[in-house]
Structure 1
Amino acid sequence: MTTLEIIILALLQGLTEFLPISSSAHLILPSQILGWQDQGLAFDVAVHVGTLLAVMLYFRKELGTMSVAWLGTLNIGPAKSNTDSHIKFEGKLAWWILFATVPAGLFGLLGKDLIEEHLRSALIIALTTILFGFLLGFADVRAGNRKVHKPLEKLGFKGAMLIGLAQAIALIPGTSRSGITMTIGLMLGLSRDNAARFSFLLSIPAIAMAGSYLTLKLILSTEDVDWQAIALGSFLAFISAYACIHYFLILLNKLGMMPFVIYRLILGFGLLWFLLG
């Protein structure tokens, strides 16, 4: 890859990982539409590490609180005084996120070959971008018209698992992990801010699993590693992802999801015109 391609792809990964517009689609399209060289396993690992560090750093306080409370549910650590009948919400939230990650892990493990061989085409990306863009718009309109939103504490285990199942669907390129999880969160009655925050917290184990799988593949492969490209890609993905999370949460309640819905529809129909025109 050229330095320009490294910069563009790393920024794309960082910006689109947490926006509801599908990072996988934006990383696949340059090679299919522009004929760019595939970025390779090492680069994929680098940008996943960058985005993972960004979301963990941004939510470091929440992660710290959840970790302590989760240990308390096991009667370990400083929160061990909690009883089963009065577990802190942060402990429940940690369990919800852990269990809600299981569907994506299973689907990724069992369906990775099907996805890689048949569902990574530009046509599939165009169709999923349009379909899930409409769903996001529908959910956002409903959320905007709702006078009272369900607090995150009332999401419940079933609600968390529904969002987790949606995250598994997002393994299909063009769906958008953040987009589909926020869509279900909004449909379940959460506010835009809470839907986004739960989606971002849920992304941490998901990105960690994907990064671990890619790292294992890299270790077992004979691919040459360009350490300069890895360092640059990881750094740019980290910076862009952190900035994306920060400004997305600031602008979300002011702008809603509609700018991203419009972008998805333009991208999807534009791809269809390019492919079928």
Structure 2
Amino acid sequence: MTHLDALILGIVQGLTEFLPVSSSGHLVLGQALLGLKQHSIEFDVVVHVATLLAVVVYFRSEVRMLIADSLSALKERPADVMDANQRLVGARLTLLVIAASIPTAIIGLGFEDLFEQLFSSVRAVGGFLLVTSALLWLTWKRGGEESSAPRYETLNVRRALVIGLAQGAAIAPGVSRSGSTIASALLCGVERRSAASFSFLISIPAILGAVVVRADELGAIPADQYGVLALGFASALISGLCGLWFLMRIVNRGGLYLFGFYTAAVGIAALILG
């Protein structure tokens, strides 16, 4: 892999990881239709760590709140922690993140081999991109008005489980993780900014899990690849932060459905050309 390859792939990974267009779907299409080569396991792990760091940096206030309130909640009763009106918002949010992660893990571990076969099918990707489009279009006029801060009281365990199922479904190439989770949250009645923030908070354990699984396959990294990996990391981190900034503003203004036109166009093209 050249430095230019690392730069381009890092930017693409950083943007498509967070924009609701399906990074896995674009990877399959890029390999099949444009002749792009699949990058190494080392590069895959590095860019995933970069996107994980992008989420933590962008949502650093929420992450600090989750940690601080969860530590304080150790002295509280579980029922008090889950009270939407209580002061330890971060502790309640932590439990909701855990709840959402359970169905995601079950689907990811239980159906990985099944969906792995679809990564060789351009038409399957095209079909799943159309599913993503339908979900995005359903969010039109959902989620209330534009807000300056998230209102996490609109989240509960049932809604968290539904959002976690949507995140698990994104194991299919062409189904956008951010698109499916934000859309499912909005359709469940969660306020816009809370839907987007929660989507990315639950991505932290999901991405971390993917990194751990892939890291187990790592081999020795050649010395001449250090610079390439560093460039891929930096480009994925910066583009990921830009992608998060952009999407949060689009979602808050009720424009998530607009991405559906792009995924529909790409999906139809994949069905025709596949």
Is TM more than 0.5 here?
yes
Q: Show the counterpart of 1:126.
A: 126
Paired amino acid for 2:71 = L
What 5-or-longer segments of structure 1 have no aligned partner?
A: 76-81
Whole-Å separation in 1 of the counterparts to 2:145 and 2:61: 30
Which stretch of structure 1 is more off in the superposition, 245-254 or 22-31? 245-254
Query: For structure 1, which segment, 258-267 or 164-173, has the greater mean C-alpha deviation from structure 2 after superposition?
Result: 258-267
Query: Matched residues in 1 for 2:12 and 2:236: separation?
Result: 8
Cα distance in 1 between the residues matched to 2:259 and 2:248: 14
Distance 1:234 1:99, change over 3 A: same
Q: 1:259-274 maps to which residues of 2 (within 5 A)?
A: 259-274=258-273
Q: Measured at CA, do residues 209 and 193 of structure 1 come closer, stay the same or move farther in structure 2, by a change above 3 Å?
A: same
Equivalence for 1:25: 25
Structure 2 partner of 1:203: 203
How much has 1:236 moved relative to structure 2? Answer: 0.5
2:257 corresponds in structure 1 to 258
| Partners of 2:134 and 2:236 in 1: CA distance | 28
Which residue number in structure 1 is paired with residue 246 of structure 2? 247
In structure 2, distance between residues paired with 1:74 and 1:172 = 38
Distance 1:137 1:176 in 2: 13
Question: Given the superposition, is the C-alpha separation of residues 229 and 184 from structure 1 closer, same or farther in structure 2, using an over 3 Å criterion?
Answer: same
- Mapped to 1, the partners of 2:201 and 2:79 lie a distance apart of 25
Q: Deviations over 1:13-50 (max 9, x none)?
A: 10011111111112222211122221010110011011
CA distance in 1, matches of 2:211, 2:92: 26
Q: Is the 8 A contact 1:54 1:241 kept in 2?
A: yes
Distance 1:235 1:147, change over 3 A: closer
Q: How many correspondences in the alignment?
A: 265
Amino acid at match of 2:23: S
Task: Percent identity, please.
Answer: 35
Matched, 1:100 2:94: no
| Cα 1:238–1:132 shift into 2, 3 Å | same
1:86 equivalent to 2:80? Answer yes
Q: What CA distance in whole angstroms lies between the structure 2 residues aligned with 1:6 and 1:259?
A: 29
TM-score (normalizing by structure 2): 0.89
CA contact (8 A) 2:11 2:236 kept: yes
Q: Which amino acid aligns with 1:105?
A: A
Cα distance in 1, alignment partners of residues 7 and 171 from structure 2:
24
Q: 1:261 to 1:172 in 2, by over 3 A?
A: same
Which ranges in structure 2 are unaligned for 5 or more consecutive residues?
A: 82-87
Change (3 A) 1:43 1:89: same
Residue 233 (1) aligns with residue 232 (2) = yes
Q: What is the aligned partner in structure 2 of residue 79 from structure 1?
A: none
Aligned match of 1:169: 169
Residue 223 of structure 1 deviates from its aligned partner by: 7.4
Specify the code of the residue in structure 2 equivalent to 1:178: S
**1:191-242 CA distance string (max 9 Å, x none):** 32221111011111111111111111114xx775722221111110000001
Cα deviation for residue 98 of structure 1 reads 1.5
Q: Secondary structure at the match of 2:253?
A: helix
* CA spacing shift, 1:117–1:223, aligned 2, 3 Å: farther
Cα shift at 1:106:
2.3
Measured in 1, the distance between the counterparts of 2:168 and 2:239 equals 25
- Cα deviation 1:104-155 (Å, max 9, x = unaligned): 22222222222222344211111000122112111x22406x5799943132
Partner of 2:71: 71
Distance 1:106 1:224, change over 3 A: farther
Local SS of the residue matching 1:217? coil
With normalisation by structure 1, the TM-score equals: 0.88
Deviations 1:152-197 (A, max 9, x none): 3132111101100111100111101101001110101123222111
SS in 1 for 2:206: helix
